[in-house]
Structure 1
Amino acid sequence: MARLVQGLPQNHVFTTEDIEIGKAIADQLAIWLDNHLLLTEAQYRSERLQTAAEVSRAASSILDVNELIETSVNLIRDQFDFYYVGLFLVDEAREWAILRAGTGEAGRIQLENNHKLKIGGGSMIGWCVQNRHARIALDVGQEAVRFQNPHLPDTHSEMALPLVSRDEVIGALTVQSIERGAFSAEDITQLQTMADHLANAIQNARLFESVIQAQLEAEELLQETQALQLFSQMLAGTLQVNEILNIFFRACIDVLGFEYGVFSLVDKYQNRIKAIAGFGVSDSQIKRANRSLDSQDIMADIIRTGKTEILTDWDERFDRDMFEAEGHAQWVRVFTSVTLRQENIGLVETGFNQDTHKRIDESQIRLLRAFIDQTALALDNAQRYEASQKAAHRETLIKEITTKVRASTNVDTILQTTVKELGDALGSKRAYVHLISPTNGEKK
């Protein structure tokens, strides 16, 4: 409603014509004001719809989840001129709504503090996630269910909108204003529609990321499988211990990118763990890698526990003098046991300089373990083959000597043949036979 007032001298009297003209002007002004108001409202709605469409388009074009939600909250705040916008996602256990993006300094602080709200708890976000409905507080001072956020002291109106995709609530959007009664029914409808588009975009981005991750894992698994197949083929081509170890070291360098390595085996008779070979280290370092299995050294500890440990700094189980003298502080090191038939028979220490790589990832450890397991079997086969060859050679030698001895009937000839053949077999320059008299025990 509007009123048209015309000021005139006190003694002036309005004629009927004056009144009619005034009414006509007032009617026209009212029509103009109504049209202007309708136009303003239409422009406002159009701007809001355009903004909502812009946010939806931006959300649909981004396939990185973190970038998507960060871009969306900032667009909503800037385009709608809100005080604060935050986006929460539900955790896997569906117990908490965790803040994943928030605008301004308040958002930054809350993200650093890992801000989260209990689903169904005393907050508008928790309530809307549990009930799958928007919750609006046009005056937050009158809202019974609300988390009073100390980082957002100027909030007077708040809206919590559920993010629903494929009939599942995946999170919620909080929109806050410094004005009381800031949200109209039309605002709520538009923002909820936008939130629905955003939820679908988030799920699509998640699906895209999961597909990409699955492809990467499949490619990684294929590469690992191919590497293991080649490694197995190379091991199958030899029964020599040195060649087996060289194949293992080559794989550590070429496939895994390690810059040094030491292979150690348990000596049960001496109760020690000893290095037998290595790469990227000196012979003296290999010789010094010799520890009692009863010691507190890391080599003995790994044999006891069978664990795989990645170390980037000093450890109490290290030798302090060796650690400092050889510059071990610069190395990323992995220690893992060599296991055969559920028994820890040895140890592999390997790694690289921190200037080259900062960390050892799971795929490297997984493939290293596979290489070690195959190497352990290959070494066991090589040792068994060597033992069988020695046994066969021994049996052949005994048979040959026995045949030659039996070919003689003269005692002196038998003794001379025995001494000669045993000396030759054992590589001895001198050999003796002592006969003891059965009557007096004297040697002859």
Structure 2
Amino acid sequence: MAGQEPASYRYQGLEGDQVIGVLEPIEGTHWAVVVEVPTREAFAGLRRMVYLLVGTLVAAALLAGGLGLLLPRRIIRPLRLLQEGAAAVGAGQLEHVIRVRTNDELEELAEAFNTMAARLRESRAQLERWGQELEQQVEERTAELAEASERLQRRASQFQAIAEVGRTITLVGDLDQMLTQITQRISERFGFYHVGVFLLDEVGEYAVLRAANSEGGQRMLARGHRLKVGETGIVGYVTATGEPRIALDVGEDAVWFNNPDLPLTRSELALPLKVGDETIGALDVQSTEEAAFTEEDVTVLSMLADQVAIAIQNARLLAQTQQALAEVEETHRQYLRRAWREVVARRGPLVYEYARTGTPSLKETLLPEMKRAIERGEVVAMPIADGDGGGGAAAGSALAVPIKLRGQVIGVIDLQEIGDGRKWTEEEIALVRAISDQMALAAENVRLLEETERRAAWEHQVQAITSRIRRSPDLATILQTTVEELGRVLGADRALVRLKVGLQEADQEVEE
């Protein structure tokens, strides 16, 4: 056994029993120590351990079976309730309540879920309240914005109407036509039932309707509708006070709406037409809606009324200026007629003629076309028949162009073509007209020069006579010099001067 390692063996012992032997060699010898233990004794502890383990497993199986019966009631069912409750809360069913009564952590967890759900319900209710409040605020804000937008659109339309009225004012010169278009434009742009313009009469006693857009207003115009200032209707009030006035179809104002020509009126606004501090009329607007006018409308329409008032004043001033100009032009024409009549009277008939060889003279004849051109002040082109021209003129065509000086006819140019087929062209007529105008200006310049020279001569004579009179030493010489100079200058057969203060007093008379 020398060199053999220690080892254990299972074998049959000396007594015939199964044993487990352990061999341990003794170092330095060929001997070894053998220890034997019966198998029964060697496996006794292991056998006990197996028995204990089997018992433990059986006990564990019994315990597991008991727990299997207990868990569905104590753990799994509450967990299922928690799961279902969590799913319901997650689905939005915040009113769901988890009912777990286990007196342990699961019950606490269920209560926590219920508390959370209650808080979520409160939060949702609060959010719903906030949402309703916010929705209400949004609706109110939307309504305010819509109202503001409507007001802005209305104001934009009103200002556009004011601009259009301004354009109407600049384009139309006639006062009545301008007022009619203004009432129509205001009615169209603002949607008013009736628009009328009243102007005060010359004495300021009545406000007279001058323009209206409605059918009833036209009937009122036809019969000369007018209102007493300060007494009749809001127009009378406005024209008397110069302040705007809104009238409604209620209370004291209701009596003013009893107008058979305007039966649909339910509210009325009258605005003064003022130039400076003077009220010249009123702008009257009426609506079929109750309470149709606000203070904002008064402000905007007052701007329109001021614009209309200025336009009326400008139209009146223009009419006055045109009338004054027409009077001045008429006075000037009368002066020209008188002046040229004096020229003709001094010089005799101023008639000049050009005729081709063999054409009879018409110098002393006022031909029909010439007479017509002088009477009408217009160009006359007409055919002439045998004998029309006087002096044996043959048939042909004539052109008579008036000589006009600042609208006053002072003569006529007559052209005649003997023979058939002559038609005066526009170019020829324009040429004769241009020459006629230039000739009239040149003739007037010559007349003015001659008149200036005559006036200068008269001034010289007046100064000379005055100088001689001033050099006279006494009253008798002054009187004598005066009658002598006047008689000489004026070519009078006799000149006499008499000093007389009263009819009963003695006369002092000097005769040339």
The structure whose Rg is larger is: 2
The answer to which structure, 1 or 2, has the higher relative contact order (CA under 8 A, 6+ apart) is 1
